[in-house]
Amino acid sequence: MALAAILKARHTRVALRKVSSMREQTFTPVKHRLRDNVRAMRASEIEEPALNDNGRPILTSMWIPTNAQVQEYNQTPFHAAVTFTGRTFPHVIRKLVLLYSDAGDLVYDPMLGSGTTLYEAFMLGRRVTGADLNPHQLDSIRERWRQHVNPDVPVIHNGDASSMFCEDGACSLIIMSFPWYSGWRFGESKDNSSMENRQTIEGFMAQSLRIYKEAYRALKSGGYICNILGNTYREGTYYPVTMKLMSIIEQAKLTLHYQFWNSRITLENLREPWNRSALDTNIKKADHGCGWDIHEDIIVARKP
Ligand SMILES: C[S@@+](CC[C@H](N)C(=O)[O-])C[C@H]1O[C@@H](n2cnc3c(N)ncnc32)[C@H](O)[C@@H]1O
């Protein structure tokens, strides 16, 4: 009898614990549960991918940076001195350079911005050059290069990406990051040819086609072109810019080679308050005429 009472009491305690833990789950807001799961996944640090026998990174199609990779912005003197906010992750450029070029190859960036491609490709023993429409970006690159890299600054040019500063077939790899079709002006260029000034998606795509046709001219046969950019939500409409670009690339007679997805934040950063809006399903909350995906696409094409 006494044993039965003990067992019953124990059973009741276990049942109560179950109910209370179910209640906890029920009342934990969805976004916090997602955050906690992500934290648990994060427990095993995701390392920089290993290189295969040919020195190329072994990769999946989804790239999620580690905190250490993101902190490169602040720890590499050339990158740390940048004030421009529309820059590309250094580790992303590094992977693309390793995947699609060899030491001694010419790597070209027609939209240099803060010069991430110039620096990372140079550090990997590639020949480097490029251009930007905004002369202030070029001044900033030259100044930081002299101060943090070398007194000899690579030759870089002021000009439109639809006219690249190189011989026909000279480039093994072109890496570029288009301004997003967002209406946001990171480069602050007043020049009308700036892609940041395109007010319609048709205008944006027409300019993209001119740039890809020019890239066809500049690339050697078998050379690659990588574009790192995102899709945008603007004034109530979602623009799948990267999908539209696929047909532009084909119109320029280039072959689509691959597509990667790059997370712009670490798993750890998913808990940061600024990103809550991305976890909310109601995107309108974050909408001030423009919204951001938290990933960007990397579209890789090849000249046949
Ligand atoms: C997204 S940023 C590039 C970021 C760069 N990858 C970095 O890491 O800093 C785009 C750049 O393209 C430049 N740009 C915009 N339209 C251009 C055009 N038609 N020709 C050349 N550069 C252009 C802007 O001045 C800006 O510096």
- CATH (domain of 255): 3.40.50.150
Helix (H) or strand (E) holding 199: none
Q: How far apart are CA 71 and CA 271, in angstroms?
A: 17
Computed over every residue of the chain, the mean pLDDT equals 80
Asked, for residue 125, whether it belongs to a domain, the answer is yes
Q: What average pLDDT score do residues 201-226 get?
A: 97
Helix (H) or strand (E) holding 255: strand 255-263
The length of the chain is: 304
Asked, for residue 151, whether it belongs to a domain, the answer is yes
77 φ/ψ angles, rounded to the nearest 5 degrees: -55, -40
Asked, for residue 34, whether it belongs to a domain, the answer is no
Q: Does residue 275 surpass a pLDDT of 50?
A: no
Can you say whether the dihedral through the CA atoms of 163, 164, 170, 172 is positive or negative?
negative
- 67-117 tens-digit pLDDT: 778 788 788 999 998 877 788 999 999 999 999 999 999 999 999 999 999
Q: Does residue 224 surpass a pLDDT of 60?
A: yes
Residues 261 and 230 sit within 8 Å (Cβ to Cβ): no
Asked, for residue 27, whether it belongs to a domain, the answer is no
Q: Would you call 201 helix, strand, or coil by DSSP?
A: helix
Q: Which residue, judged by its Cα, is nearest atom 10 of ligand 1?
A: 179
Asked, for residue 18, whether it belongs to a domain, the answer is no
Residues 265 and 89 sit within 8 Å (Cβ to Cβ): no
Q: Which residue, judged by its Cα, is nearest atom 13 of ligand 1?
A: 111
| The model scores a pTM over 0.85 | no
Q: How far apart are CA 275 and CA 271, in angstroms?
A: 7
For the chain, the straight-line distance linking the first and the last C-alpha, in angstroms and rounded, comes to 85
Identify the weakest region by mean pLDDT among 55-59, 74-78, 124-128, 214-218.
55-59
- Specify the pLDDT at position 9: 56
Q: How far apart are CA 44 and CA 48, in angstroms?
A: 13
* 68: amino acid identity, one letter: A
Domain residues for 106?
Answer: 57-302
- Specify the pLDDT at position 37: 47
Å from CA of 111 to ligand 1 middle: 4
> Using a 6 Å cutoff on CB, does residue 157 contact ligand 1?
no
- 128-143 tens-digit pLDDT: 999 999 999 999 999 9
Q: Does residue 288 surpass a pLDDT of 70?
A: no
> Using a 6 Å cutoff on CB, does residue 90 contact ligand 1?
no
Q: Would you call 150 helix, strand, or coil by DSSP?
A: coil
> Using a 6 Å cutoff on CB, does residue 194 contact ligand 1?
yes
- Specify the pLDDT at position 84: 77
Residues 269 and 64 sit within 8 Å (Cβ to Cβ): no
Asked, for residue 24, whether it belongs to a domain, the answer is no
Exposed e or buried b for every residue in 132-156, given b needs 16+ CB within 10 A? bbbeebbebbeebbeeebeeebbeb
The number of folded domains in the chain is 1
> Using a 6 Å cutoff on CB, does residue 118 contact ligand 1?
no
Asked, for residue 207, whether it belongs to a domain, the answer is yes
Q: Does residue 58 surpass a pLDDT of 90?
A: no
- Specify the pLDDT at position 52: 79
> Using a 6 Å cutoff on CB, does residue 182 contact ligand 1?
no
Å from CA of 176 to ligand 1 middle: 8
